[in-house]
Structure 1
Amino acid sequence: MNIKVNGENIKISDPLTINGLLKHIGLDDRRVAIERNLEIVPKSNYSVTNISDGDQIEIVHFIGGGNLNVNFKAGE
């Protein structure tokens, strides 16, 4: 089965759910948002949403951090 993940073609051999894909590529499902074929997949549906041949998946990673100083300016 051929799918596209974040613009990159990927071949997978077994049918997978969104959760299965995340495990396959080593991502924690608690820190991502998923779009499948231009539709946001609710986190509650990751385990029941099957990926099909030709699907386009976009994965957005959330990374903690930042500066709590409201007067902070980039480059300073």
Structure 2
Amino acid sequence: MARKGKAMLLNGNFYNLTEPISLPVLLRRLAYQPQLVAVELNGKIIKRTDFAAVIVKADDKLEIVSFVGGG
């Protein structure tokens, strides 16, 4: 899969990212609820309490996993 322009790897797919963005803003843009996800950035799990301090860049690899309740 060729990389075009400024793109990060997001859950295995390229996602265009024109400039660095904070993790909470990106999660909102992608319609994720921060309290219901686990995030791995470049191979490291990010604590939810650290989300606000994380800046995501075009060369990053991000994995987002949603928690789904059921019964």
Q: Hey, which of these two has a bigger chunk of helix by percent? A: 2
Q: Hey, which of these two has a bigger chunk of strand by percent? A: 2
Greater mean deviation of Cα atoms: 44-53 or 29-38: 44-53
Note the aligned Cα RMSD (angstroms): 1.0
The 1-side partners of 2:18 and 2:61 are apart by 16
Q: Which amino acid aligns with 2:54?
A: T
Q: Which amino acid aligns with 1:55?
A: D
Equivalent in the alignment of 1:69: none
* 1:52 counterpart = 2:45: no
Task: Give the TM-score normalised by structure 1.
Answer: 0.80
- SS state at 1:64 partner: coil
Unpaired runs of 5+ residues, structure 2, are 1-5
Number of residues of Structure 1 aligned to a counterpart in Structure 2: 66
- What is the aligned-residue identity percentage? 27
The 2-side partners of 1:61 and 1:23 are apart by 13
1:4-19 alignment to 2 at 5 Å?
Answer: 4-19=9-24
Q: Which amino acid aligns with 1:5?
A: L
Unpaired runs of 5+ residues, structure 1, are 67-76
Deviation at 1:29, TM superposition (A): 0.4
* 1:37 counterpart = 2:38: no
> Which structure's CA Rg is the greater one?
1
The 2-side partners of 1:29 and 1:13 are apart by 22
Task: Give the TM-score normalised by structure 2.
Answer: 0.85
